[in-house]
Amino acid sequence: MANNGALAPSTRSGRNMNETTVTAQSRRGFLGKAALLGGGALAAGGLGAFAEAARAQSAPASDLAILNFALTLEYLEAEFYDRARQGDFGNLNTGVQRFAEVLYSHEQAHVDTLNATIPALGGTPVRKPALKFPKLTQKTFVRTSIVLEQTGVGAYGGAFPSLKLKAVKEAALAIHSVEARHAAYARLVAGTLPANVAFFSPLTKEQVLKRAAPFFA
C-alpha cells in the first residue's frame, strides 16, 4: 500500500465535485418522478436500460428477488461513501475525497434507480438495512472500497445468468460495468494496478453475503 501522498491521483478543481453532486441530484429528481409515473420519467432521465425494464411492467419473482438483493448491496455502498465524504473516516486528501464524492453519487443513483424500477416491475423494494462500519483511516477506507467494489462486480456477474427478463438483464449490465470501473478506480487510488486480472470471477450469493456480513448491524 502506498503512502498517503500516493493515494491522491491528479484531480481537477472542486467545481467538478460540485458538478458531480448536481448531476446526482438531477438524476434523483427524475427517478422520484419515475416512482409516480412508471418508466416514462426514467426514459426522460436518459437511463435507457432501466426505462426498458420499467416498461415491461412485470418481472418474474426470481428477477425481483435478485434486484432487491442488488438494492441491499447498493444501500451499503452508498452509505459507505456518504460517510467517507462527510469525514467519518478522517480527513481525506483531495484525490481520495473526490473518489468518495464520485462513487457516492453513482451508488446513490443506483439506489434511486432500483427503488424506482422494482415497483414498476410489480415488486416491493427492500428497506435499507441497519449498517455499521469499523473505524477507518484514509488507507483502510480505500482498501475497504476495493473489497466492496469487487464484491459488487462479483455479485452482479454471479446473478446475471439467473435473470429471466431480457430488459432486467440489460439493466443489471448497466450497473455491472460501472461497478467494474469503480473497482479499477479504487485500485488506482490505492496506488496498485487498476486492471489486475485477465478474467472475471463471479460470486455466488453465499460468497457475497460472507463478504458483506461484517457491515450489517
Instruction: Look at 66 and 55; give whichever has higher pLDDT.
Output: 66
Assigned domain for 2 exists: no
What average pLDDT score do residues 137-166 get?
96
Instruction: Look at 4 and 167; give whichever has higher pLDDT.
Output: 167
DSSP string, the chain: ---GGGG------HHHHHHHHHHHHHHHHHHHHHHHHTHHHHHHTT-HHHHHHHHT----HHHHHHHHHHHHHHHHHHHHHHHHHTTTT----HHHHHHHHHHHHHHHHHHHHHHHHHHHTT--PPPPPPB------HHHHHHHHHHHHHHHHHHHHHHGGG---HHHHHHHHHHHHHHHHHHHHHHHHTTS-SS--SS-----HHHHHHHHGGGB-
Q: What are phi and psi of 216, to 5 degrees?
A: -100, 130
Assigned domain for 6 exists: no
Rounded Cα gap, residues 28 and 32, in angstroms: 6
CATH code of the domain containing 18: 1.20.1260.10
Question: Grid coordinates standing for 90?
Answer: 478522517
Task: Give the number of domains in the chain.
Answer: 1
Distance of CA 142 to the CA centre of its chain: 15
pLDDT at 215: 97
Assigned domain for 146 exists: yes
pLDDT for residue 46 is more than 70? no
Question: Could you tell me what percent of the chain has a pLDDT over 90?
Answer: 71
pLDDT at 48: 73
pTM as predicted: 0.79
pLDDT for residue 113 is more than 70? yes
pLDDT for residue 3 is more than 60? no
Assigned domain for 183 exists: yes
What average pLDDT score do residues 65-79 get?
98
Rounded Cα gap, residues 149 and 178, in angstroms: 10
pLDDT at 32: 43
**Residue 35: band (very low, low, confident or very high) from pLDDT cuts 50, 70, 90:** very low
Assigned domain for 118 exists: yes
**Residue 47: band (very low, low, confident or very high) from pLDDT cuts 50, 70, 90:** low
Rounded Cα gap, residues 214 and 217, in angstroms: 8
Assigned domain for 5 exists: no
- Closest-CA residue to 105 (of 205, 204, 1, 20): 20
Assigned domain for 192 exists: yes
Assigned domain for 7 exists: no
Residue 180's domain spans which residues?
12-215
What average pLDDT score do residues 113-124 get?
94
Q: What are phi and psi of 162, to 5 degrees?
A: -85, -10
Rounded Cα gap, residues 103 and 149, in angstroms: 10
Rounded Cα gap, residues 183 and 80, in angstroms: 14
What average pLDDT score do residues 152-164 get?
96
